[in-house]
Amino acid sequence: MTDTPAYDMVTMNIIDSSMVSICREMGIVLMKTSYSTIFNEGLDFTCALTDTKGNMIAVAEFCPAQIGGMPLLIKTCAQEIPLATLDEGDVIIHNDPYRGGLHVPEHTLFKPFYVDGELMGFCVAIGHIAEVGGMVPGGFAGEATEIFHEGFRIPPVKIRKRNKDVPEVWKLWLANVRTPRHNHGDLRAMIGALDTGEKRIAELVKKYGKAVFRKTCDDLMDYAERRMRSEIAAFPDGHYDFEDWVENDGIEDKPYRLYVKVHVQGDEMVVDFTGSAPQAKGPINATLGVAWSSTYNAVFHLTDPTIPKNSGCFRPVRVLAAPGTVANVDYPAPEVAGNTETHPRLAGIVIGALSKCLPERAMAAESGTGGNFVFGGQHPEHDEYYACYDLMSGGWGGRSYADGNDAVIAINGNCRFIPTEVFETRFPFVVENFALLPDSAGAGKFRGGLGFQKTLRARGAEITASQCTDRHRVKTWALFGGGEGRNGATLFQQQGRNDWRTTVETYGKRSSSKFSNIMLRNGDRVRLEVSGGGGYGEPKARERKMIEEDVREGYVTRDAARRLYGLATGGDD
């Protein structure tokens, strides 16, 4: 057969799907063998393959937050560890946000893969490790003011050389985290995933030959670029802007503006975050990797989901984020919540800006938080230190054709909630409820999705808890005349009291949504609520039968139906 395009496209199709399946297999190893609930139940990780330049050539669908920054990450590492110094069987570990990373808990492990002694690319596993040292158990220090508060930083170093552990690195790292047995298990799982990927991709390259493989990867990226360009070409040219606010940074009681201007011209676009607030003292800052990731995430949501996800997709989209702002933080400011709070909110404003030219594709604001309630302590029964990252998200926004989904993880991730039966088995809490919040969604022709609530009661030993969330004051924005969603809340009821109060009232903190190290004692309760999504279109345009069904199903109370939708009477079966 000749090397003509149609033939290439068939080989390309086959190599692409084989590589995605390799990434998925890596992810399955990681999911099935990891220890942290945020990995194995939360699926907060990504497995990918890159070429030798760090271009992502394939990725499996686990957590999308991590992919946009990957090229930056690998390029940064290559500056410090030249490719020539790598050997077959080496594994590099890295988590430094100031070297291309997203935030300290996100650990990236790379393993180069070789065919006949020649470097062909890297297997990559990126995952959120629940406990990373620093000032709070669980990584999310709501009151951090420096990167050093947020956990143990690892510049790119080899944790394995020629398939053997480098014991010094392991010792140093495991001595600086609170749950070394778990962290050890998580890293073993990530290394297991890389080993699997390395074996499989080498087989694939051998099957097709190095030249065909390299050429196909290049073609594959060109192909994805071509598809992305044709999507953008269909967007009306113009300049579209949008803004949203992060309510505070945990340190100072003032809101921070997130602003974007999207310039669409022909088959390219520039996404410019200039105009966003100067960087905060607290941990809400985004790194440049986050600004990239959030932009690509938004663009992927508004374009054909069948486009292969590789670095070719990134080419027609340029991201500008001024240094020293909340969208591109300067060293050594803290930034852990930049990746869970600011990240989805940046993606949201890009979607919001593009709603002006793509109204039928856009979605009103989602809750846009990871909830990020973290806690740890000595387990009264297991005789071991534990740490947990509990993840909660609220409703999606309404769309031009459907209501927002209730209680779904923010679009920058695709994690799962921890089941109560797993949660209570692992951690000394009793979960008292797990419930949707009626009336929390923004009204509209298509309403937002509902937020939800979880109430925990501490049982036994003291628990140290922290949180980084948002939208306790800033509401989810609506589109085209819809209503805003209701705010979330974090409330406490200390043993012996009957009232529910915020951290500000209970513990004298500066923010209700971002705080570090409060102490929960036996019988203390905490209630976590995440907000509903914004509505799409005028509430009065909503079909009566949909309003009536919402009332019957208890998503909207009768009173709210009257107030928001003017539902006078009826609504009974």
List the interface residues with other proteins, window 3-22 (CB under 8 A).
5-7, 9-10, 12-14, 17-18, 21
- Measured from the CB atom, the residue of 29 and 561 that comes closer to other proteins is 29
Is the Cβ of residue 38 or residue 564 nearer to other proteins in the bound state? 38
Say how many C-beta atoms besides its own lie within 10 A of residue 527's C-beta. Answer: 16
Q: Which residues contact 413 (CB under 8 A, 6 or more apart)?
A: 44, 63, 64, 65, 340, 344, 370, 391
Is 25 a binder of other proteins (CB under 8 A)?
Answer: yes
Contact letters for other proteins, residues 355-394 (x by CB under 8 A): ------x-x---------------------------xxx-
Residue 348 · residue 396 · CB < 8 Å: no
Q: Does 302 bind other proteins (CB under 8 A)?
A: yes
Site for other proteins, residues 48 to 87, rule: CB under 8 A: 61, 64
Least CB distance from residue 345 to other proteins, whole Å? Answer: 16
For other proteins, give the closer residue by CB, 416 or 510. Answer: 416
Q: Is 401 in the site for other proteins (CB under 8 A)?
A: yes
Strand order in the sheet with 525-529: 429-436, 452-458, 525-529, 489-493
- 474 interacts with other proteins by CB under 8 A: no
Q: Nearer to other proteins by C-beta: 426 or 473?
A: 426
Q: Does 244 bind other proteins (CB under 8 A)?
A: no
Residue 352 Cα distances to 241, 260, 264, 344, angstroms: 8, 9, 14, 12
In 10 A of CB 166, how many CB atoms?
16
Q: How far is the CB of 35 from other proteins (least distance, A)?
A: 3
| Residue partners of 79: CB distance under 8 A and separation at least 6 | none
Told to check if 407 binds other proteins by CB under 8 A, we report yes
Strand partners, 241: 261
473 binds other proteins (CB under 8 A): no
- Residues in binding contact with other proteins, number by CB under 8 A: 91
Nearest CA-CA partner of 487 in 531, 551, 545, 423 = 531
Least Å distance between CB 540 and other proteins? 23
Helices and strands per DSSP (H, E), number in the chain? 12, 19
What's the CA angle centered on 64, arms 329 and 453, to 5 degrees? 90
Using CB under 8 A as the binding rule, whether residue 173 contacts other proteins is answered as no
> Could you tell me which of 313, 346, 314 has the C-alpha nearest to residue 329?
346
CB of 146 to other proteins, least distance (A): 31
Please report, as residue ranges, which positions from 475 to 494 form the binding site for other proteins (by CB under 8 A): none
| Helices of type H across 482-557 | 503-507, 544-553
Q: Which stretch binds other proteins (CB under 8 A): 71-79, 255-263, 414-422, 514-522?
A: 414-422
Distance (Å) of CA 517 to CA 72, 248, 268, 375: 33, 18, 46, 8
Which tokens in the block code for residue 182? Answer: 């778990």
Order of strands, edge to edge, in the sheet holding 238-246?
A: 238-246, 256-265, 268-272, 317-320
Q: Of these, 307, 441, 478, 479, which contacts other proteins (CB under 8 A)?
A: 307
Name the nearest CA neighbour of 452 among 555, 523, 374, 552: 555
Q: Which of 301, 473, 501, 563 binds other proteins (CB under 8 A)?
A: 301
Q: Round to whole Å and give the CA distance between 369 and 468.
A: 9
Taking CB under 8 A as the binding criterion, the range among 32-40, 104-112, 209-217, 560-568 that sits at the site for other proteins is 32-40
Q: How far apart are CA 208 and CA 11, in angstroms?
A: 9
Least distance (Å) from other proteins to the CB of residue 248? 26
Asked if residue 412 lies in contact with residue 67, where contact means CB atoms within 8 angstroms, the answer is: no
Residue 36 in contact with residue 391, Cβ under 8 Å?
A: no
Stretch that binds other proteins, among 140-148, 194-202, 268-276, 508-516 (CB under 8 A): 194-202
Of residues 430 through 469, those in contact with other proteins by CB under 8 A are 430-436, 452, 455
Interface with other proteins, residue 472, by CB under 8 A: no
Nearer to other proteins, 200 or 509 (CB): 200
The contact mask relative to other proteins for 220-239 (x = CB under 8 A, - = no) is ---xx-xx--xx--------
| Shortest Cβ 291–other proteins spacing (Å) | 18
- List 77, 93, 123, 191, residue binding other proteins (CB under 8 A): 191
